[in-house]
Amino acid sequence: MKDFLPISREDMEKRGWEQVDFTFVIGDAYVDHPSFGPAIISRVLESEGYRVGIIAQPDWRNPESINVFGEPRLGFLICAGNMDSMVNHYSVSKKRRSKDFFTPGGVMGKRPDHATVVYGNLIRRMYKDKPVIIGGIEASLRRMAHYDYWDDCMKRSVLLDSQADLISYGMGEKSIVEIADALNSGIPVEDITFIKGTVYKTKSLENVYDYVTLPSYEDILEDKLNYARSFYIQYCNTDAFSGKCLAEPYGNNMFVVQNPMSKPLTTEEMDKVYALPYMRTYHPCYEKDGGIDAIKEVKFSLISNRGCYGGCNFCALTFHQGRIIQSRSHESILEEARLIINDPEFKGYIHDVGGPTANFRKPACKKQLKAGVCTHRQCLFPKPCPNLEVDHSDYLELLRKLRALPKVKKVFIRSGIRFDYIMADPDDTFFREMCEYHISGQLKVAPEHISDTVLKTLGKPENSVYKAFCKKYAAINKKLGKPQYLVPYLMSSHPGSTLKEAIELAEYLRDNHLSPEQVQDFYPTPSTISTCMYYTGVDPRTMKPVFVEHDPHRKAMQRALIQYKNPKNYDLVHEALELANRRDLIGFDKKCLIHPKNKKDASAVRSQKSSGKTDAEKKYGISFDKYDRIQDHAKEQSRQRSAARRKKRQ
């Protein structure tokens, strides 16, 4: 029967079930769409004959809330949601977010902080011995000892703190079926130590083969550099072909053991996953509460691939999906597109066709599917590898097929485009067709910064590559007669970025007449190279020191410099320029970022001007005397408004 999976005992009984095999506890609302991890895992299990009941956003204060279906036959599954619960709840400044897009009506507070740990302990209060398997992005990226930005400390493996038995890390389709089959065959959960893509705990390494011992949790607590060493060993063992088992010791004669990652899905396996009978929307029980906003961005989008060999240091994809690209067939994607087209709400626009990186459709080179990725070498950074196979033809053919479908007006590309990969392609056909058919006025790209010093710590290509891309983009659009623009995503306060580099970025924006609306402060999320840099102060690959800005006020300055035109940022920008001894950028010349703050400030700027000052002032149409009069007038108006407000209140 094609329907949502049971969310209540009544639903279970309608299906004629007396008991579920697995109770799946989820931190998000229940959305049965292949862009949501819990939907994929539950449908994969269903396709293998297992009965799954969904408990979405249970009341973690009440143990009975996880007892909706009674005791499951095989065990409990836990996923905190499509995002880490702490990222979902808090901004980079650790302020509570006002809206949760994965909860009915956007209401905050329907899941706990560190949801995987809380749900695991909730289940253990009710069921002492039932198998508990945790997964999803939160568990996957916290599978070994990790730095937690929100508590500013090292935490143990989430396996221990949640009291779970196993972690199914990564994408999980293969490992979860193997776990289910093992449990179904009667193997005790403590003996399930042989499945790739899993993490388990043990008191002995006697039966663990070909493993590497990581620094102990106690050693990591004692010295941050031990964490940097541990992290890099983990980073070098994320490949399904070459990765070894990793054993992390804990003081009470306990080891957390990570098996190598599951093998990448084949095209046929991916097609099967995306052909499962998803309802493609949220459960109707949420309609009365305003629905789930998260579905809006993905309802008319198509996932064509997973994995990424881009190597950005601030991204956790290496740890979660791996570096080997896995793609769906054209037929699979077109079949899903036809489902989208027949949706009553479809207006003719496919919002996206892509994945972590839209224009990656195959592994970086031939050897990756036989021997895995290079352990100590990146495919694109710092320069494209000589063995990299640059080819957009398959993606281009797919887009052409989608454009030709009836009722399709436009096919957009909105997920990440690697501009350095495009620039490495000697054939500009894809570039031209992207500009002609797949952009609506602007293209979002992610150079992240323009300082080569910072780009190096980011794992991004040199600024010269982005400049060349911008030039070619402008030339192609001019030839097409399309006034289309680039919208760069920029990041502030990433390790390696001082005020000097932040000002360098601000000057670049000034010279190119750019006013970014979106700026992302570096967010130290678990299991990234950049987060390791942030915590340890060294690059784990070289163990060399890296500058890290920890002070919140100085981080705010770096962010403000990127949006220096915003009047709200004036004081921060002014302070930053003073601190960096860059008063030359305060004044009335075109090269200046901001005007002087007041008469005293203007006098200081005046005193620093050369004898050619008067000519410059005339050239740009304002004198310091006029500036003083404007300031006096503005203060008088402000005083009058304040007086009027006081009078009105009285």
Dihedral (Cα; 642, 643, 646, 650), 10-degree rounding: -160
Final residue of a domain: which of 438, 457, 481? Answer: 438
For residues 198-208, give the mean pLDDT: 96
Whether 628 shows a pLDDT value over 90: the answer reads: no
Distance CA 501, CA 509 (A): 13
* Domain, as residue range, for 90: 9-199
Q: Within this chain, do residues 169 and 311 fall inside the same structural domain, yes or no?
A: no
Distance CA 168, CA 184 (A): 17
Final residue of a domain: which of 438, 466, 495? Answer: 438
Whether 620 shows a pLDDT value over 60: the answer reads: no
**DSSP β-ladder status, 166-168 and 198-202:** antiparallel
pLDDT-derived band at 619, boundaries 50, 70, 90: very low
Q: Within this chain, do residues 308 and 161 fall inside the same structural domain, yes or no?
A: no
Nearest-Å Rg of the Cα atoms of the chain is 27
Distance CA 589, CA 586 (A): 8
Q: Is residue 71 part of a domain?
A: yes
Q: Is 492 helix (H, G, I), strand (E, B) or coil?
A: strand
Q: Percent of the chain having pLDDT more than 90? A: 87
Which tens digit of pLDDT belongs to each residue from 59-103?
Answer: 999 999 999 999 999 999 999 999 999 999 999 999 999 999 999
pLDDT-derived band at 640, boundaries 50, 70, 90: confident
Final residue of a domain: which of 184, 199, 214? Answer: 199
pLDDT-derived band at 601, boundaries 50, 70, 90: low
Q: Within this chain, do residues 190 and 319 fall inside the same structural domain, yes or no?
A: no
Whether 615 shows a pLDDT value over 80: the answer reads: no
Locate all alpha helices (DSSP H) within 487-612, ordered by sequence: 499-511, 529-536, 552-562, 570-579, 599-608
Question: Which residues have a Cβ under 8 Å from the Cβ of 464 and sit 6 or more positions away?
Answer: none
Q: How many residues does the chain have?
A: 650
CB atoms within 10 A of CB 462: 16
Distance CA 199, CA 164 (A): 10
| Residues linked to residue 52 through DSSP beta bridges, in sequence order | 22
Q: Within this chain, do residues 319 and 186 fall inside the same structural domain, yes or no?
A: no
Which tens digit of pLDDT belongs to each residue from 224-234?
Answer: 999 999 999 99
Distance CA 437, CA 16 (A): 50
pLDDT at 557: 97
**Pair of tokens at residue 242:** 């070459």
Whether 492 shows a pLDDT value over 90: the answer reads: yes
Q: Is residue 448 part of a domain?
A: no
Q: Is residue 507 part of a domain?
A: no
Q: Within this chain, do residues 168 and 305 fall inside the same structural domain, yes or no?
A: no
Domain at 311, CATH number: 3.30.750.210
Whether 466 shows a pLDDT value over 80: the answer reads: yes
Whether 400 shows a pLDDT value over 90: the answer reads: yes
Q: Is residue 268 part of a domain?
A: no
Whether 235 shows a pLDDT value over 60: the answer reads: yes
Q: Is residue 237 part of a domain?
A: no
For residues 531-549, give the mean pLDDT: 97
Locate all alpha helices (DSSP H) within 386-498, ordered by sequence: 393-403, 419-423, 429-437, 452-458, 463-480
Distance CA 310, CA 378 (A): 8
Q: What rounded mean pLDDT belongs to the chain?
A: 93
Distance CA 34, CA 355 (A): 12
Contact 367/387 with Cβ under 8 angstroms?
yes
Distance CA 509, CA 569 (A): 15
Select the more confidently predicted residue: 1 or 216: 216
pLDDT at 642: 73
For residues 285-291, give the mean pLDDT: 96
Q: Within this chain, do residues 40 and 167 fall inside the same structural domain, yes or no?
A: yes
DSSP string, 39-72: HHHHHHHHHTT--EEEEES--TT-GGGG-TT-S-
Phi then psi for 25, rounded to 5 degrees? -95, 125
Q: Is residue 20 part of a domain?
A: yes
The dihedral region occupied by 415, where left means phi > 0, alpha psi between -120 and 50, and beta the remainder, is beta
Distance CA 568, CA 595 (A): 14
Residue with tokens 């942030």: 534
Which tens digit of pLDDT belongs to each residue from 139-168?
Answer: 999 999 999 999 999 999 999 999 999 999
Q: Is residue 206 part of a domain?
A: no
Select the more confidently predicted residue: 588 or 74: 74
Q: Within this chain, do residues 195 and 338 fall inside the same structural domain, yes or no?
A: no
Whether 455 shows a pLDDT value over 50: the answer reads: yes
pLDDT-derived band at 631, boundaries 50, 70, 90: low
pLDDT at 618: 43
Question: Which residues have a Cβ under 8 Å from the Cβ of 231 and sit 6 or more positions away?
Answer: 529, 532, 540
Which tens digit of pLDDT belongs to each residue from 9-48?
Answer: 999 999 999 999 999 999 999 999 999 999 999 999 999 9
Whether 648 shows a pLDDT value over 90: the answer reads: no
Select the more confidently predicted residue: 524 or 640: 524
For residues 299-325, give the mean pLDDT: 94
Domain at 49, CATH number: 3.40.50.2300
Residue with tokens 């002492």: 128
Q: What is the pTM of this model?
A: 0.90
Which tens digit of pLDDT belongs to each residue from 366-399?
Answer: 899 889 999 989 999 999 999 999 999 999 999 9
For residues 273-283, give the mean pLDDT: 97
Q: Percent of the chain having pLDDT more than 70? A: 93
Q: Within this chain, do residues 190 and 327 fall inside the same structural domain, yes or no?
A: no
pLDDT-derived band at 613, boundaries 50, 70, 90: very low
**Pair of tokens at residue 237:** 């063992």
Which of 299, 279, 282 is CA-nearest to residue 104? Answer: 282
Whether 614 shows a pLDDT value over 80: the answer reads: no
Distance CA 395, CA 533 (A): 35
Whether 569 shows a pLDDT value over 80: the answer reads: yes
Mean pLDDT lowest among 228-242, 253-267, 601-615: 601-615
Which amino acid, residue 283? H
Q: Is residue 146 part of a domain?
A: yes
How many domains is the chain built from? 3
Distance CA 305, CA 303 (A): 6
Contact 92/521 with Cβ under 8 angstroms?
yes
CB atoms within 10 A of CB 624: 19
Contact 19/258 with Cβ under 8 angstroms?
no
DSSP string, 590-628: TT-SB--SSHHHHHHHHHHS-TTHHHHHHHTT--HHHHH
Q: Is 153 helix (H, G, I), strand (E, B) or coil?
A: strand
pLDDT-derived band at 616, boundaries 50, 70, 90: very low
Contact 81/88 with Cβ under 8 angstroms?
yes
The gap from C-alpha 415 to its chain's centroid, in whole angstroms, comes to: 12
pLDDT at 611: 43
Distance CA 144, CA 160 (A): 10
